[in-house]
Amino acid sequence: MKITYYVEVLSSWCHWVEPVWAELKKRYAGRAEFEWKIALMNPGDFPVSQAQCDWFYRRSGGTVMHSPYMLNSGWFEAERQGRYETPNLVAEAAKDFGFTGDEIRLAIAHAALREGVKVGDLATAVKVAAKAGKIDGKKLRAAAESKTVKDRVATSTLEFFSHQINQRPAFILGDAIGDKAVFSGLVRIEPLAATIDAMLADTAAYAAHKTHHGVPPKE
């Protein structure tokens, strides 16, 4: 089966779900294919002030997640008016240099959400990513600015919305027998793991039936 994780680099809820994503990859290694895709937030989805951002962080990190630390809103820049495509484009561009895992995306998110680094600035985001992956900064920047990478991000964002969802993180689970499960906004492992287990069990049962009984009759 395949599990697709739709993520926005600066989303606090994506930050909180990262341990779940890591655990799922570990728990189902060899039994499921994992892929992350960018799902850009609309400008209006971002906080309108640093104070508002802190309010959201107290809710998500404190009230809901009971985290021992609070996220850092220092990345926020009012003059951007919610336009933060840059860190996502840089994370996507890193795939062209072999970084299809989580390391570059997580490095950018950590710089922003834990250290308050203003990764909305292209040069800054590239510097963080290049250091994390030992990638040539000029080449990475060129890739992030390329039409190819921008088109990929636009396409994956449209894919996200095609599932009739609007909350990140989102997980799309699909298996070999055509079943699909969609989770949007959940950050707990229990419902995801239970669904994956059920889908794997059903897929195995279908395979066992075919082994013993062959393909279905045509008439």
Answer yes or no: CATH 3.40.30.10 is held by domain 2-213.
Answer: yes
| Cα–Cα distances in angstroms (integers) from residue 131 to residues 108, 119, 123, 135, 161, in the given order | 10, 14, 12, 7, 33
* Inter-residue contact 4 to 184 (CB < 8 Å): no
Burial status of residue 65 (CB atoms within 10 A of its CB: 0-12, 13-18, 19 or more): middle
Q: What is the pTM of this model?
A: 0.96
Structure tokens at 19: 């341990």
Write down the domain spans for the chain. Answer: 2-213
Provide the residue-wise pLDDT of the chain in tens; the chain has 219 residues.
999 999 999 999 999 999 999 999 999 999 999 999 999 999 999 999 999 999 999 999 999 999 999 999 999 999 999 999 999 999 999 999 999 999 999 999 999 999 999 999 999 999 999 999 999 999 999 999 999 999 999 999 999 999 999 999 999 999 999 999 999 999 999 999 999 999 999 999 999 988 999 888 888
